[in-house]
Amino acid sequence: MYIKPIFYFFNKFSNNILCFFLLFFLINVEISFGFFLIFDNSIPSLLSIAIYLCLRKFSIHVSSFSLFTLGLLYDVLLGSNIGINSMFFLLIKYFTEHLKLSFIDNSSKDDWIHFTCVFISSFVITFLLNIIVNLTIPDFSPILFHLGVTLIIFPFLVLSINFIHFITKLIKN
């Protein structure tokens, strides 16, 4: 009689734990990009791409608690202000869900433009808050490099995911 709700909550819990560990693995990959000389001061935000793709393309609901926890872990690992990346990830989730529920259809031909709007608006809010907290204006060249590399990587990741999906469909048929 109470078995269905138990399995439902177990399913939700296991999906959230799996998503948490995959995103945590992606945090480690993102931090390891910092060891390459080309990404010396500013690494691309692969986690924001993954959050956007999970919500928009794969319809995987990432819980706010796991994003908040991942943001805190990310801040501790990078040594930045506590809560800044948590707010950034939650803003990406909020803007993506708002974009998904608003007037925009689910076609993927304008995904890059939608991701650009979501990423830049989240980044600007977080950046302005970081300026207010630190009372300093940072150098803009690493920031623009970070924005540019993240926005350039996004279509390549989407194309590779679409290619993998096409190949698996081809193999199944």
d(Cα 108, Cα 172) in Å, to the nearest integer? 23
Helix H segments across 33-63?
46-56
Asked if 26 and 50 count as a contact pair (C-beta separation under 8 A), the reply is yes
Q: What is the pTM of this model?
A: 0.87
Q: What is the DSSP letter of 35?
A: G
Given pLDDT bands bounded at 50, 70 and 90, which one contains residue 16? confident
**pLDDT value, residue 103:** 58
Which structural domain range is residue 134 located in?
A: 3-172
Q: b vs e for 3-34, b when ≥16 Cβ sit within 10 Å of the residue's Cβ?
A: eeeeeeeeeeeeebeebbeebbebbeebeeee
Asked if 118 and 95 count as a contact pair (C-beta separation under 8 A), the reply is yes
* Domain count of the fold of the chain: 1
Q: Which amino acid is at 9?
A: F
**pLDDT value, residue 29:** 92
pLDDT in tens, 77-130: 888 889 999 999 999 999 999 877 665 565 667 888 999 999 999 999 999 999
Q: What is the DSSP letter of 81?
A: -
pLDDT in tens, 37-67: 888 778 899 999 999 999 888 888 888 999 9
